[in-house]
């Protein structure tokens, strides 16, 4: 039962120590397109990001002693730096939402207690497996939004710039936590079964937090009976960008013995962002470049489809009428 690190994509991982202008003005209670349920869903996801980032970076650090491959070691160090910066910036967004009256601090405290319990009870290897599952979830979520940048049409540009920087970097290091775990665990059948159990635990932790946090946010905001907003959120999570739909599709694939995060090689989608940022050092311009690239690709695909249909119709025999 093969289980190996593929050691690809490491050259994508770049540490960018960025700070964003997240303020009481830019971050509103309904910050995602001014829709209550959609905003609360995203807030429920993002609320635990700082503690989750600290969990995975601590896991990588603890496994480092067992890694001899210099390429994986360097990627792990860069990954740790990226995650530390992500946690710092999401701490700021969370603190603003707490001031708005949302119970994010309670969510963080509850998750922190779970994290510390697991860290005290589970082996370093099992924690590495859970960390790899968390990184799988963030990579899938990031992919969904990278492929659909137009869903943020009515969101403050600073928040969009902040989130897409995070989505790009989560994609850059999407295989690092997995490869660190595989190398530290030694690969093979034992690593596969540990990784599978880690995914089961990671799914249970993530799903329970997501839906309990969402319920609390909607309840606190007195939006439980806002059916229209609930339908808007349902479209977001199931149709476009289809966050949960993509999770349901990609999570079973994680249990394949030869699975690797870069089996879904989407490095091309982050290149427009990276090239523009390298040129301008402007995260908003980088987002616009990514958005234009995605829209151009979709328009090109639609044109190709129309051309194929037209070519097909021209090759069909004409039928007599009457």
- Count of domains in the chain? 1
- 311 in a structural domain: no
**Domain of residue 89, CATH code:** 1.10.620
DSSP letter at 152?
G
Percent of the chain whose predicted confidence (pLDDT) is above 90: 87
- 287 in a structural domain: no
Q: Alpha-carbon distance 214 to 256, whole Å?
A: 31
- 109 in a structural domain: yes
- 30 in a structural domain: yes
pLDDT tens track for 107-153: 999 999 988 999 899 999 999 999 999 999 999 999 999 999 999 99
Q: Provide the pLDDT confidence category of residue 7 given band limits of 50, 70 and 90.
A: confident
- 309 in a structural domain: no
pLDDT tens track for 254-310: 999 999 999 999 999 999 999 999 999 999 999 999 999 999 999 987 655 445 444
- 302 in a structural domain: no
pLDDT tens track for 60-119: 999 999 999 999 999 999 999 999 999 999 999 999 999 999 999 999 999 999 889 998
pLDDT at 93: 98
Give the number of other Cβ atoms within 10 Å of residue 244's Cβ. 17
Q: Alpha-carbon distance 88 to 118, whole Å?
A: 22
- 276 in a structural domain: no
- 5 in a structural domain: no
Q: Alpha-carbon distance 259 to 13, whole Å?
A: 21
pLDDT at 310: 46
Q: Which domain holds residue 52?
A: 10-265
Q: Alpha-carbon distance 231 to 219, whole Å?
A: 16
pLDDT at 4: 54
Query: Degrees (nearest 5) of the Cα angle 39, 43, 44?
Result: 120
């Amino acid at each position: 039962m093969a289980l190996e690190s593929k050691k690809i994509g490491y050259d994508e991982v770049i540490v960018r120590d960025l700070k964003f202008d997240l303020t009481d003005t830019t971050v509103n209670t309904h910050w995602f397109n001014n829709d209550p349920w959609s905003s609360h869903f995203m807030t429920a996801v993002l609320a635990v990001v700082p503690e989750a980032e600290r969990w995975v970076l601590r896991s990588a650090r603890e496994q480092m002693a067992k890694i001899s491959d210099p390429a994986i070691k360097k990627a792990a160090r860069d990954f740790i730096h990226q995650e530390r910066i992500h946690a710092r910036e999401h701490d700021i967004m969370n603190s603003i939402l707490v001031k708005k009256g949302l119970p994010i601090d309670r969510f963080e405290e509850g998750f922190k207690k779970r994290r510390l319990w697991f860290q005290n009870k589970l082996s370093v290897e099992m924690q590495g497996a859970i960390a790899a599952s968390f990184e799988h979830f963030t990579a899938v979520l990031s992919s969904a939004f990278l492929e659909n940048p137009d869903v943020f049409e009515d969101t403050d540009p600073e928040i969009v710039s902040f989130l897409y920087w995070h989505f790009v970097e989560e994609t850059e290091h999407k295989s690092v936590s997995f490869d660190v775990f595989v190398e530290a665990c030694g690969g093979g059948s034992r690593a596969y079964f540990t990784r599978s159990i880690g995914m089961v635990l990671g799914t249970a932790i993530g799903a329970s937090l997501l839906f309990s946090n969402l319920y609390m946010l909607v309840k606190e905001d007195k939006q439980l009976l806002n059916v229209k907003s609930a339908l808007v959120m349902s479209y977001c999570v199931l149709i476009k960008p289809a966050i949960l739909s993509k999770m349901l599709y990609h999570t079973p694939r994680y249990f394949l013995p030869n699975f690797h995060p870069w089996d879904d090689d989407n490095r091309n989608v982050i290149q427009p962002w990276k090239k523009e940022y390298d040129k301008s050092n402007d995260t908003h311009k980088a987002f616009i470049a990514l958005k234009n690239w995605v829209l151009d690709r979709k328009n090109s695909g639609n044109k190709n489809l129309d051309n194929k249909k037209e070519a097909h119709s021209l090759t069909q025999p004409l039928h007599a009428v009457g």
